[in-house]
Chains A and B, each alone.
Chain A
Amino acid sequence: MSLPLPWPFDRDYMQLALVAGLVVGVCAPLIGTFLVQKRMSLMGDGIGHVAFAGVAAGLLFGVWPIGTALIAAVAGAVCIEWLRSRGRAGGDLALAVLFYSGIAGGVVLTGLAGSLDASTLTYLFGSILTVTSGDALTIAALGLVILVAVVVGWRALFAVIVDEEAARVAGLPVDVLNLGLAGLTAVTVVAGMRVVGVLLVAAMMVLPVGAAQRVARSFRGTLVLASAIGSFSAVTGLAVARAFGLAPGGAVVLVAASCFVVAAVYKGPAGSRLLVTSGNARR
Chain B
Amino acid sequence: MTPALSVDAVSFAFGSQTVLDCVTFDVHDGEFVALTGPNGAGKSTLLRILLGLLPPLAGTVEVFGASPRDLRDRWRIGYVPQRSVLPENLPATVEEVVATGRLARRGWSRRPGPADREAVSHALESVLVDDLRRRRMHELSGGQQQRVLIAKAFASEPDLLILDEPVAGIDADSQRRFRDSLVHFGRSHGTAVLLVSHELGAVAADLDRVLVLRQGKIAFDGKPEELTATGVSLGVHQTDLPLWLEDPGLKSPR
A residues with a Cβ closer than 8 A to B are 37-39, 152-153, 155-156, 158-159, 161-173, 212-213, 216-222, 273-274, 277, 280
Least distance between A35 CB and chain B CB atoms (Å):
11
A-side interface mostly:
helix
A171-B74 contact in complex given A153-B109, A166-B81, A222-B91, C-beta closer than 8 Å: yes
Are A273 and B92 neighbours in the complex by a CB distance under 8 Å?
no
B-side interface mostly:
loop
- Cβ-neighbour of A162 out of B51, B79, B100, B156 (below 8 A): B100
Are B108 and A163 neighbours in the complex by a CB distance under 8 Å?
no
Are B93 and A219 neighbours in the complex by a CB distance under 8 Å?
yes
Q: Which residues of A contact B52 (CB under 8 A)?
A: 168-169
Known interface pairs A165-B79, A219-B91, A219-B92; 20 further A-B residue pairs with C-beta atoms within 8 A, sorted by A's residue number: A37-B87, A38-B87, A155-B108, A155-B112, A156-B109, A159-B100, A159-B108, A162-B92, A162-B152, A163-B81, A164-B85, A165-B85, A170-B103, A170-B156, A171-B74, A171-B75, A171-B104, A218-B96, A221-B91, A273-B89
A168-B96 contact in complex given A156-B108, A161-B90, A217-B134, C-beta closer than 8 Å: no
Q: Which residues of A contact B104 (CB under 8 A)?
A: 170-172
- Is B53 an interface residue, CB under 8 A from the partner? yes
Least distance between A236 CB and chain B CB atoms (Å):
24
Q: With the chains together, A169 CA to B78 CA distance in Å?
A: 8
Are B87 and A155 neighbours in the complex by a CB distance under 8 Å?
no
Q: Which residues of A contact B100 (CB under 8 A)?
A: 155, 158-159, 162, 167
Least distance between A88 CB and chain B CB atoms (Å):
19
A-B contact pairs, 24 of them (CB 8 A): A37-B90, A153-B108, A158-B92, A159-B100, A161-B90, A162-B86, A162-B90, A162-B92, A163-B149, A164-B85, A165-B53, A167-B100, A169-B52, A170-B74, A170-B75, A170-B77, A171-B75, A171-B104, A213-B89, A213-B91, A218-B96, A219-B93, A222-B91, A280-B88
Q: Which residues of A contact B74 (CB under 8 A)?
A: 169-171
Give the 5 A-B CB pairs with smallest separation, nearest first.
A171-B74, A170-B104, A159-B100, A156-B108, A213-B91
In the complex formed, the residue of B with least CB distance to A281 is B87
Are B91 and A168 neighbours in the complex by a CB distance under 8 Å?
no
Least distance between B14 CB and chain A CB atoms (Å):
15
Q: Which residues of A contact B109 (CB under 8 A)?
A: 152-153, 156
B interface residue count range (under 10 / 10 to 19 / 20 to 34 / 35 or more): 20 to 34
Least distance between B67 CB and chain A CB atoms (Å):
13
Q: With the chains together, A73 CA to B111 CA distance in Å?
A: 31
In the complex formed, the residue of B with least CB distance to A220 is B96
Q: With the chains together, A166 CA to B148 CA distance in Å?
A: 14
Q: With the chains together, A157 CA to B156 CA distance in Å?
A: 18
In the complex formed, the residue of A with least CB distance to B158 is A170
Q: With the chains together, A47 CA to B149 CA distance in Å?
A: 34
Q: With the chains together, A5 CA to B17 CA distance in Å?
A: 73
Q: With the chains together, A166 CA to B156 CA distance in Å?
A: 12
- Is B41 an interface residue, CB under 8 A from the partner? no
Are B93 and A218 neighbours in the complex by a CB distance under 8 Å?
yes
- Cβ-neighbour of B88 out of A166, A170, A219, A277 (below 8 A): A277
- Is B136 an interface residue, CB under 8 A from the partner? yes
Q: With the chains together, A158 CA to B152 CA distance in Å?
A: 13
In the complex formed, the residue of B with least CB distance to A164 is B85
- Cβ-neighbour of A158 out of B85, B96, B112, B136 (below 8 A): B96
- Is B129 an interface residue, CB under 8 A from the partner? no
Are A165 and B81 neighbours in the complex by a CB distance under 8 Å?
yes
- Cβ-neighbour of B91 out of A38, A165, A171, A218 (below 8 A): A218
Q: Which residues of B contact A170 (CB under 8 A)?
A: 74-75, 77, 79, 101, 103-104, 156
Q: Which residues of B contact A222 (CB under 8 A)?
A: 91
- Is B58 an interface residue, CB under 8 A from the partner? no
In the complex formed, the residue of A with least CB distance to B68 is A169
Q: With the chains together, A213 CA to B103 CA distance in Å?
A: 24
Q: With the chains together, A39 CA to B90 CA distance in Å?
A: 11
